[in-house]
Amino acid sequence: MSKALPKRSENYSEWYNELVKRADLAENSAVRGCMVIKPYGYSIWEKMQRALDDMFKETGHENAYFPLFVPKSLFEAEEKNAEGFAKECAIVTHYRLKNDPNKPGKLMVDPDAKLEEELIVRPTSEAIIWNTYRNWIQSHRDLPLLINQWANVVRWEMRTRLFLRTAEFLWQEGHTAHSTEKEAIAETEQMLEVYATFAEEFMAVPVVRGRKTANERFAGAEETYCIEAMMQDGKALQAGTSHFLGQNFAKAFDVKFTNKENQLEHVWGTSWGVSTRLMGALIMAHSDDEGLILPPKLAPIQVVIVPIFKGEEQLAQISEVILPIVKELKKKGVSVKFDTSDKQSPGFKFAEYELKGVPVRLAIGARDLANGTVEIARRDTKVKATYQIDSVVETVTNLLEEIQANIYQKALNFRAENSHKVDSWDEFVKTLDEKAGFISAHWDGTPETEEKIKELTKATIRCIPLDAVEEEGKCILTGNPSGKRVVFARAY
């Protein structure tokens, strides 16, 4: 067994970095800021994709695929959007290499193969998609257009961190077009709720649903909705966003439709996305100093069975009892691994599966066999108990549900303990430094105050919660009147 992980309490950041690597989730690549997602990490992402994709399809969306590249002239068409992403774009300027005459065996960019127009590697696809929608939409009968794509995007971030912020990342981006403002807003809100449901029911991560302030809006959006999750260090992580685009992209790309009254109007748009960043949220929300803790609904291996044996004969005896259980669990849709390898000790395996976050572990040795029992350990609470073999299938399936619920409840309790209502500047600063977490406080609604607070404390307004209560209050910084509280936090 490799050496222990750094402890969360000592170095949360180092703990995260090491855990991502040791649990075989991802690693840095030879390309600055780009990661390699390793098979175990990718299998969790696949489970996320499948669940989200089902939810998108249930809400009427279809998948499609649009080009990786955006010609510069299209990219700059929606000015705010272009401005927002211009500083972090990878740009293709040439389309051919040739042998370097000065360095045998080496290649160089062929200066004769310069593109007439540069191509931007998509940081997001509104431009290329809305340019396509112009030809797809003529009449109100073509609307709503409800499309999603699963794709890679590139944003040339200077400081990168596995899953949380990488130059290339994987995501899905929904892009919809509607005939009315009302319908587009309803779509924006619906997709936020899909994300929130996914975070809470699959990832077991409670989220605050809210709206971003104008400062934090997606470049080119009229309104950005978001879900914000709390990590174990009390910092916030934006886990998904859903944008109401108004008619901005329709105007920039001249996308019009004939309404029922036979008049020409610009289309209303939305876009929404979640990315491999969710992997970071999943890891940081639940895991402990021994390794990952995965919610059963997203665990690639839900149950591992470790036989404790000496020699083939003992293994054969254990297998005779275990194989029917494996079969029955699989029939119930439970993913099981029966690890019969004799290259590692049971103790090594226990630690390894703890590191990998397998929710339920069964262990069975000669004595258990004689007694007709099995030891079952759950990863979340580390509680172990002995069960009769004939109750194993029921116990395990119940336990998986219980663990899913317990992990969520634990995160919910943690968030409650680390959410504070604050009514003065001193209290705000003190709370931020001593307790971390989410701070619910009044703000005067101006971008200037928001900026100033960020400068002074590094805390940002995570969102204006959708369920914020109307109440009279005073801005913690300026004392100016405020109608509702917003959520402040330091954030990833």
Residues that bind a second copy (CB under 8 A): 29-31, 34-39, 42-43, 45-46, 62-72, 74-76, 79, 82, 86-99, 105-107, 109, 118-121, 128, 131-132, 141, 147, 151-152, 154, 156, 168, 170, 343
CB of 116 to a second copy, least distance (A): 10
Name residue, tokens 């009044």.
442
Per this entry, what is the length of the chain?
A: 492
Distance (Å) of CA 306 to CA 56, 94, 103, 380: 38, 55, 56, 18
User: What residue type is assigned to position 15 of the chain?
Assistant: W
Instruction: Report the alpha-carbon distance of residue 321 to residue 154 in Å, rounded.
Output: 51
Nearest distance in Å: CB 332, a second copy: 19
Biggest CA pair distance of the chain: 82
DSSP per-residue letters across 418-435: TEEE--SHHHHHHHHHHH
- Region of 348 please: left (phi>0), alpha (psi -120 to 50) or beta: alpha
Q: State which residue, 147 or 226, has the beta carbon closest to a second copy.
A: 147
Least distance to a second copy, CB of residue 418, Å: 33
Whole-number minimum distance, CB 292 to a second copy, in Å? 17
Indicate the residue among 155 and 420 with the shorter CB distance to a second copy.
Answer: 155
Minimum Å distance from CB 15 to a second copy? 22
In angstroms, give the least distance from the CB of 206 to a second copy.
28
Q: How far is the CB of 357 from a second copy (least distance, A)?
A: 17
Q: Can you read off the two tokens belonging to residue 305?
A: 């069975």
CA gap 40, 59 in Å, rounded? 29
Q: Between β-strands 223-230 and 336-338, what pairing exists: parallel, antiparallel or unpaired? A: unpaired
Which token pair is 86?
A: 């211009």
- The residue among 147 and 293 lying less far from a second copy, judged by its C-beta, is 147
Provide the minimum distance between the beta carbon of 235 and a second copy in the complex, in angstroms, as a whole number: 26
Our CB check for a second copy shows the closer of 36 and 456 to be 36
Distance, CA of 311 to CA of 51 (rounded, Å): 42
- Judged by phi (left if over 0) then psi (alpha if -120 to 50, else beta), residue 200 lies in alpha
Q: Which CB, 49 or 373, lies closer to a second copy?
A: 49
What is the Cα–Cα distance from 293 to 4, expressed in whole angstroms? Answer: 16
Q: Angle 311-331/392-417 helices, nearest 10 degrees? A: 70
